Structure 1
Amino acid sequence: MTSADWDQLTTALVIPYHVQREAELHARRGGPPIRKPGGGHPAALTIAEKTLVTVLRLRFRVPQHVLADLFGVVTGTIATAERQIRPLLDQREHSIAPTRIRLMTLSDLIAFAAAEGVILIPKIKPAC
């Protein structure tokens, strides 16, 4: 996928992602918000990162714990990202075919990316 195609895909997912997120929050709250949006915590992953997580899981079957180490988050964040993005890719009929390559460790993923000319630098998890 070219960088232009990637930008087009992530841009196309922004509005459907926010619509889906607001619908989930509306259902969880049982109605509309009663307060104005506040600051809160920043999202652990951007929409582009959530999309990348989902693509890596579908294409290379990268384990959640490896992606959690790469992005400096917990595995639950990876699972949530995939749960949120996968239906949006399906709605756009954007299929991702798995390859025979399985990247089972962080060093496998970094080496594969380096061979493709991409440098991956794992994020450091913040102290609790």
Structure 2
Amino acid sequence: LLALFWRHAERIPDRSRGSASPGITGNTPEMFPHWLVEVIALITQDPARHLPDLAFHAGVSPTQLRRAFRRHLGVTPVEYLNRARLERARSLIETTDGTVSEIATRVGLDSLSYFTKRYKEAFGHTPGRHRTRGI
């Protein structure tokens, strides 16, 4: 479980230092509330989940969830979710034959234009180009 967390945490931009370094605020997963580690695992397993569902599963309010993400990871849950969705989409583009639209929906981003825009911002190219060029 902790390995899954660290794999995603490495990719979160660190706003406090203005770099693309890990978004960890100096805390280790062992210092996180157990429910936060569980939420991170849920996001890793299924990035199509939404904030209210994650908060409900953790037994906390959406506000508490946002505060915990900010405090322990330095990002909002939405930023973390979107990054996890894009990482999952990249993996699906590389390993499946699903259309870009199907993959966007599968990871929880129903707007193809929004998905394409965010994908390009994150990886420097569109999802279609990623597939056709094997990037």
Quickly name the TM-score band, shorter chain normalised: 0.3 to 0.5
TM-score (norm 2): 0.37
Larger Rg: 1
- Bigger RCO (CA 8 Å, 6+ sep): 1
TM-score (norm 1): 0.38
Higher helix share: 2
